Structure 1
Amino acid sequence: MTADDDPTGEEGWGTYTLVFALPDPATVEVGALGTHDLPAGGYAYTGSALGSGGFARVDRHRRVAAGEHGVRHWHVDYLGGHPAVHLDGVVRAPGRDVECAVAGRLAAGPVDGFGASDCDCPSHLARYESTERAAAAVRAVYDAV
């Protein structure tokens, strides 16, 4: 497991979790999942970097969150691209396919099906009372899987 504070990203493949801060409640449209009222808090989205490009996907998510890339392709793009949301950090598991194991051990998701259209998980988005709690939970789960 590596914590990621490096905006240049990391080559390779594996699993990652983005930790977002939502300081105030917001209404977010999530593509085909519709519009959702999200309470303030910390959010953790777990994704796979197994396909083409690997961890370059994390760099794309960073650009969306920074407002540098406007295309919304995945559910997480709608959350990360919302003006009230801030990408606070990234945790990676290079060389490990543990996406569903991580998502399943985090808190229940506020949006059913978020990021889980290609698996049987209820959601790959978890919500916590604060960003600090979200980050701590993510690190604990990555240590355990």
Structure 2
Amino acid sequence: MRGCYVLFITLSDPKTISVGRRSAAEFAAGEYAYVGSALGGLEARLCRHWRKEKRLHWHIDYLLREASSEKAIFARTCEHIECQLARFFSERFSFIPRFGASDCQCCSHLFWSPDQEDLVTATRAAFRACGVKPEILTHSVKKTLTYGRNSY
């Protein structure tokens, strides 16, 4: 399954995190939304994000070492809507400059809010603005994937 996703991340305490070759960045405690795409396989990409043991490759891998994630909203699409979603978020939320955006001109692909529900609501609206149907995917405590029966 190909598509685009928004991964929801919780960081309990403020942290300074080194992100690959970039200098360390300050991350506020709170809720984050990471916009990504997986045109080669959405399920595998999300499973990789949720796996704790992995080679650090993408910017998001460094944040996920320090944070938790249990949910993503995605849309099945072959279209490249990742940057459209990032622009939508950049008009509404604070962000870590250039995070996850080394291969595009977006200001960032990582956005912050004190409230995850604000990020979820914006995600639904962003996917709909792109003309695709948002669906939810959760990562259970048992580390298995479960598809939500309800679309957003």
TM-score band, normalised by the shorter chain?
0.7 to 0.9
Partner of 1:49: 38
Matched letter for residue 87 of structure 1 = S
Task: Report the Cα distance in structure 2 between the residues aligned to 1:37 and 1:27, rounded to whole angstroms.
Answer: 5
Q: Equivalences for 1:59-98 in 2 at 5 Å?
A: 59-63=47-51, 67=52, 69-82=53-66, 85-95=67-77, 96-98=79-81
Residue pair 1:110, 1:127 contacting (<8 A) in 2 also: yes
Task: Report the Cα distance in structure 2 between the residues aligned to 1:54 and 1:23, rounded to whole angstroms.
Answer: 27
Give 1 or 2: higher strand fraction: 2
Residue pair 1:14, 1:55 contacting (<8 A) in 2 also: no
Decide which structure has the larger Cα Rg and report it. 2
Partner of 1:4: none
Partner of 2:114: 129
| Unmatched tracts of structure 2, length 5 or more | 131-152
Q: TM-score, normalised by structure 2?
A: 0.76
Using the aligned pairs only, state the percent identity.
39
Deviations 1:4-41 (A, max 9, x none): xxxxxxxx111111010112212211112221111111
Deviations 1:21-80 (A, max 9, x none): 112212211112221111111101111101x344311110011xxx2x231100010111
Report the Cα offset of residue 139 of structure 1: 1.9
Partner of 2:142: none
Report the Cα offset of residue 111 of structure 1: 2.0
Q: Verify: 1:23 aligned to 2:12, yes or no.
A: yes
Task: Report the Cα distance in structure 2 between the residues aligned to 1:102 and 1:110, rounded to whole angstroms.
Answer: 13
Task: Report the Cα distance in structure 2 between the residues aligned to 1:139 and 1:72, rounded to whole angstroms.
Answer: 29
Task: Report the Cα distance in structure 2 between the residues aligned to 1:109 and 1:116, rounded to whole angstroms.
Answer: 15
How many residues are aligned here? 127
Task: Report the Cα distance in structure 2 between the residues aligned to 1:80 and 1:30, rounded to whole angstroms.
Answer: 11
- Aligned alpha-carbon RMSD (Å): 1.6
